[in-house]
Amino acid sequence: MNDSDSTQSLAINTGSDPRLVTLARLQTPLYLFDAEAYAFVWANKNAVEFWEAKSASELCSRNMNADASASVKQTLQQIKKECFEKDTTALERWTVYPNQTPKTANFLMTPFKTLDNRMLLLMQIHVLSEALDDETLYRTTALMHTTTMISAYDSANNLVYCNGAARDTMPADLSVGTKRLVKSEDATRIIATLSRQHFCDIEAQMYTKNGIRWHSVHIERCTNPTTGKQMYLATETDITEQRSAKEQAYKLAFVDSLTKLPNRVALMNQLAALLDASEPQPFAVMFLDLDRFKSINDSLGHAVGDLLLIQVAERLSESVRGEGSVFRLAGDEFIIILSETKASAVSSNVANRILESMAKHMFIAEHQLLIRTSIGISLYPENADSANELLEQADAAMYAAKASQCGYCFFNSRMSMTSASNIKQRMGIENDLLKAVDNNEFELYYQPKIACNTMTVCGVEALVRWNHPELGTLAPDRFISIAEDCGQIVQLGHWVLNEAMRQQRLWQDEGLEIQVSINISAKQFESNQLDIDIIDALKLHDCDPKMIELEVTESLLADDPDGAYELLQRISALGMRLTLDDFGTGYSNLAYLQNYPLDSMKIDRLFLSDSKHSILLRTILNMGKTLGLDIVAEGVETAAQVDWLLKQGCDQMQGFYFSKPKPVREITRYLCGTSLIAADNQPAANDQDHAA
């Protein structure tokens, strides 16, 4: 080619890029090509010889556009686009004509970005006359992806090549691609997909030298560049750990950690799916409550209570026998959904099986227990057409069954939401609540929190008690839910906020530097007045914001994430600490925690009650640390639990091992005492504390 054939050179000087200095020394013909300008921009000595040029400069000055067809240019530009977008290589067999001399070779193309951000193709030439076999070509390609398992199969799915990464994991006796798959349906899916299109992406379990592992597999149907026959090229990456993390996240979000049953969130999702179906089918909702569970839990302790709940869950699952799904709603409450066209008859059969199963004694921790259940049943569409109504009706039917001791009962329109006696007692408490704050009937108890690094008190949690004039001292579980329903929780919460800050300031004046934690109710959170109330209380009691910690529940964040974020940001800006309370009780989703200005996370007591939870608890501790949160473990009752938490790097502990909740005078003596842990370290029954 003479000077008249030349065009403006786009050449790169070898010395301007240290990578080209190295490539220039290689014996393999290598050159850089601009697919857009269709021009050479650099070449090593052997590439210059292959193209029969006098020099690299002369090669770069050639006008390659003159003889190139539009289809060839388009093909090369597409190859470049795919190489850069997928960060991959391409292998093509071409016949080229340098100085009108035909030469057939395999061209291996790799994306190459220059120092001035030009997107070029690095072309590696393998001349067929050099007798370069297919395996050597595939090995060259695989070396560009040393962290990826690469294998090739012929049209009969027989293995013809695998790179080092694949060879390290592939069992020697599995040379047929489809037999590496654990599930035959995955092989069927791959074959069907490749019959319709040239590629298939799938996540599947594979047999490997390290046992069964999850792999992300990309398979392409292509042509062998040497024989012209169909073949399959597979690239695989091990995603076992990622799958495990996803499964763990799913369990935290949708599975009850104690019984391993689906939780409240999963229940509402299934009800929504049944009701939102294009052609909804009849189904039944069964509401189960255990009789006398609270007395068993209080007298024998949490450990026995939890083991009892686990056995109950197992018996319920066996009784359903695949005819429905069992959920743990909360505490000793369970829900069963029976999807069946004859829901009434099926519900009766399942209810009878449950009652028969529960009639047998349970042997737990050397205790022989007899537990009975009451079951309420509501039917769709006969009784209601919404999830909440169906649950409320099943709950009402359960109370009717409990009152009549008939075992189970179907809802009917004559039923109230609760039994007459419960309504009367509830109305009495509701009426008394209206004047309880004004009558100064509430009192705050305080439970200490222990810093793990010093084993000293680092704060106290304020817990409300009601000194009822007739019923005596009532724990929160007797009145908080009623206060929430009747709207008195906002007034009560406002009183708790002010009383806790007032007491903190008194301790401060007495020389006790003690941080006070205050629980915030959902109604307070929704009132849009909370941050104003906090500011007013801080000013009224001249309280240091850094000495106040607010505890919010997971449900508050899940119900209104945007509103919660804005409100928590305003509160955090005041200088107060924010803690996520009762983590793991049903709304758990660690992914959203990083979006909120939280300082610590309090793990629900159930995670400590059984050694089976240790792996899950360790995972939560590690993930909380990753998010930069202090971890507080509540419900600590034994020395063994203390030792375990200290070894796991927990930040704070709280529970009966250190102290029960105490009124002001007793907790003040405790805080001033010299013997912290010996003061009150005997395990006790669950206090079931929840502040306003």
Q: What is the structure's pLDDT at 442?
A: 95
**Longest CA–CA separation in the chain, Å:** 112
Q: What is the structure's pLDDT at 341?
A: 56
Q: Where are the alpha helices (DSSP H) in 143-183?
A: 164-169
Q: Structural domain boundaries of the chain?
A: 3-131, 139-238, 247-418, 429-441+484-650
Q: What is the structure's pLDDT at 164?
A: 65
Query: Under 8 Å CB-to-CB from 328, ≥6 apart: which residues?
Result: 256, 258, 259, 261, 262, 263, 264, 309, 313, 334, 335
Q: List the one residue out of 455, 464, 500 whose CA is nearest residue 653.
A: 455
Amino acid at 305: G
Cβ atoms of residues 320 and 336 within 8 Å: yes
687 vs 692: CA distance, rounded Å: 15
pLDDT tens for 162-173 read 776 777 788 866
Q: What is the structure's pLDDT at 545?
A: 95
Quick one: average pLDDT of 250-254? 73
Quick one: average pLDDT of 146-173? 77
Q: Which of 174-178, 202-206, 216-220 has the lowest mean pLDDT?
A: 174-178
pLDDT tens for 302-311 read 888 899 999 9
Which listed CATH number (3.30.450.20, 3.40.50.720, 1.10.3720.10, 3.40.50.300) goes with 3-131? 3.30.450.20
Q: Which of 269-273, 419-423, 484-488 has the lowest mean pLDDT?
A: 419-423
Q: What is the structure's pLDDT at 145?
A: 43
Q: Tokens 């009623």 appear where?
A: 482
Query: Could you tell me the pLDDT band of residue 604, with boundaries at 50, 70 and 90?
Result: confident
Q: What is the structure's pLDDT at 498?
A: 96
Query: Could you tell me the pLDDT band of residue 683, with boundaries at 50, 70 and 90?
Result: very low
Q: Extract the tokens encoding 596.
A: 């909120």
Of residues 438 and 302, more confidently modeled: 438
Q: What is the structure's pLDDT at 42?
A: 94
Decide: helix, strand or coil at residue 242: helix
Domain 247-418 has CATH 3.30.70.270: yes
- As a whole-number percent, the residues of the chain with pLDDT over 90 amount to 33
Segment (H or E) for 558: helix 554-559
Query: Could you tell me the pLDDT band of residue 28, with boundaries at 50, 70 and 90?
Result: confident
- Report how far apart, in Å, the C-alpha atoms of 170 and of each of 132, 208, 210 are: 26, 5, 9
The verdict on whether omega for the bond into residue 381 sits within 30 degrees of 0, i.e. cis, is yes
Cβ atoms of residues 399 and 421 within 8 Å: no
Q: What is the structure's pLDDT at 418?
A: 46
pLDDT of residue 515 exceeding 70: yes
Q: What is the structure's pLDDT at 589?
A: 56
Q: What is the structure's pLDDT at 599?
A: 92
Domains 3-131 and 139-238 share a fold: yes
pLDDT tens for 39-77 read 999 999 999 999 999 999 999 998 887 767 676 777 788
Quick one: average pLDDT of 318-329? 89
pLDDT of residue 136 exceeding 70: no
Burial, 249: exposed, middle or buried (Cβ in 10 Å; 0-12, 13-18, 19+)? middle
Q: N- to C-terminal Cα distance for the chain?
A: 90
Q: Extract the tokens encoding 384.
A: 């209601």
Q: What is the structure's pLDDT at 462?
A: 96
**Domain 139-238 falls in which CATH fold?**
Beta-Lactamase (3.30.450)
**Domain 429-441+484-650 falls in which CATH fold?**
TIM Barrel (3.20.20)
Q: What's the mean pLDDT when you consider all of the chain?
A: 82
Q: Tokens 């250190």 appear where?
A: 658
pLDDT tens for 624-648 read 888 888 999 998 989 989 998 999 8
